């Protein structure tokens, strides 16, 4: 659909529990989602979207602009604004975070079309390094052993834990301050002992991460902004 001169892709799904048509914008970014009840008609759904076009245009206009991983862009790494600097001269493995008088710089060498991928690869690598260290620390404190650690790019949750102790995290936590990543690691490690959000679970998180409220508060206020980068 074209809204205010922009072509907007709308995801369409049917939901068994839906009893009406609905249109929403995912809080972490992504395409608007149009939900139909199982017995819904696509023609009626399109009419529903047309009636809600002003609402959708207003909500989309309020969204922050996406910041691509490109030369000159500024993104937070561990919560610190960092400028991407592209160097066209090839240099194998040369994506480095360096300190500079004006603030940190992420240098990326090679062809310009590979900058975004190399920045993403760097961020995922840094996220894994920090998460593995934080998970190991909290697992030792709580006397548990994760079966594995995976990185994802989920929008609905920052981390997860399975019944077998497999932990998964959004790589985007590397964009947040380090105390946020530490809290998320503690949260998911505690789920290995308590696969719920009971009072006992929160006592475990507090035991291994006394400053957990700080990480929770930051994510509640700022978490959605981490999806502005690199989409």
* pLDDT given at position 6: 81
184 and 213: one domain?
yes
Question: Could you tell me what percent of the chain has a pLDDT over 90?
Answer: 75
pLDDT single digits (tens) 90-109: 777 689 999 999 899 999 99
What is the bridge-based pairing of β-strands 2-3 and 6-7? antiparallel
**Residue 102: HSE in the Cβ half-sphere, 13 Å Cα cutoff:** 7
Average pLDDT, the chain: 92
- Give me the number of domains the chain comprises: 2
> Same domain for 144 and 52?
no
In a domain, residue 142? The reply is yes
What's the rounded Cα separation, in Å, for the pair 95 and 222? 27
Those residues of the chain that have pLDDT short of 50 are none
- Does residue 82 share a domain with residue 23? no
Structure confidence at residue 4 (pLDDT)? 80
- pLDDT reported for residue 93: 65
pLDDT in tens, 181-203: 999 999 999 999 999 999 999 99
């Amino acid at each position: 659909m074209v809204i205010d001169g922009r072509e907007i892709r709308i995801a369409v799904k049917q939901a068994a529990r839906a009893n009406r048509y609905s249109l929403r914008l995912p809080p972490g970014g992504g395409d608007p989602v149009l939900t139909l009840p199982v017995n819904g008609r696509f023609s009626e759904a399109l009419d529903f979207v047309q009636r809600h076009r002003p609402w959708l245009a207003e909500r989309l206009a309020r969204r922050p602009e996406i910041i691509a991983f490109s030369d000159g862009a500024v993104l937070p790494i561990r919560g610190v604004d960092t400028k991407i600097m592209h160097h066209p001269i090839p240099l194998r493995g040369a994506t480095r975070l360096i300190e500079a008088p004006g603030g940190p710089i992420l240098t990326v060498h090679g062809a310009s079309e590979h900058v975004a991928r190399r920045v993403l690869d760097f961020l995922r690598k840094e996220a894994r390094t920090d998460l593995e260290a934080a998970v190991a620390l909290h697992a030792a404190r709580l006397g548990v052993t994760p079966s594995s650690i995976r990185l994802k790019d989920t929008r609905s949750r920052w981390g997860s834990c399975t019944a077998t102790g497999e932990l998964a995290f959004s790589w985007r936590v590397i964009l947040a301050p380090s105390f946020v990543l530490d809290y998320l690691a503690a949260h998911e490690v505690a789920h290995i002992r308590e696969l719920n959000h009971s009072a006992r679970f929160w006592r475990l998180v507090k035991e291994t991460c006394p400053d957990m409220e700080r990480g929770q508060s930051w994510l509640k206020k700022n978490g959605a902004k981490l999806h502005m980068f690199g989409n």
